[in-house]
Amino acid sequence: MKKILFIFNGIVDLINENLGKKVKPEYVSKPNAYLEETLADNSLLKKYFTTTVSVKVGIKKIIDSLIRDSYLELRLNKEKI
């Protein structure tokens, strides 16, 4: 498997992979109020929270859940993505 950097395009690739689609992202200009960075200190989060599921597995689980619940499946059939 190719190494995926979990940035926008990587997330789009994972979603496409799980849906069997080849949707290309549409890029738009950043809004005026877009924050390039914050002063947030997430050191406590890193100290007390660890993930047990990778981004790849998490996206698959979410998509599988939506399909199982038929919400996404109905929408895909209706919109023919």
pLDDT over 90 at 45, yes or no: no
Phi, psi values for residue 30, rounded to 5°: -70, 140
46, 56, 57, 51: which is closest to 5 by C-alpha? Answer: 56
Any domain includes 74: yes
The residue behind tokens 């689609």 is 21
Number of folded domains in the chain? Answer: 1
55 close to 5: Cβ distance less than 8 angstroms: no
* Confidence grade of residue 46 (pLDDT, cut at 50, 70, 90): confident
Assigned domain for 24 exists: no
Give domain status of residue 14, yes or no: no
- Please tell me the predicted confidence (pLDDT) of residue 1: 39
Give the pair of three-digit tokens for residue 11: 């997330």
User: 34 in a domain, yes or no?
Assistant: no
Residue 72 lies in a domain: yes
Give pTM, 2 decimals: 0.62
Element (H, E) at 51: none
Residue 36 lies in a domain: no
Is residue 37 situated within a structural domain? no
Domain that holds residue 74: 51-81
For residue 4, is it within any domain?
Answer: no
What pLDDT, on the 0 to 100 scale, is given for residue 48? 86
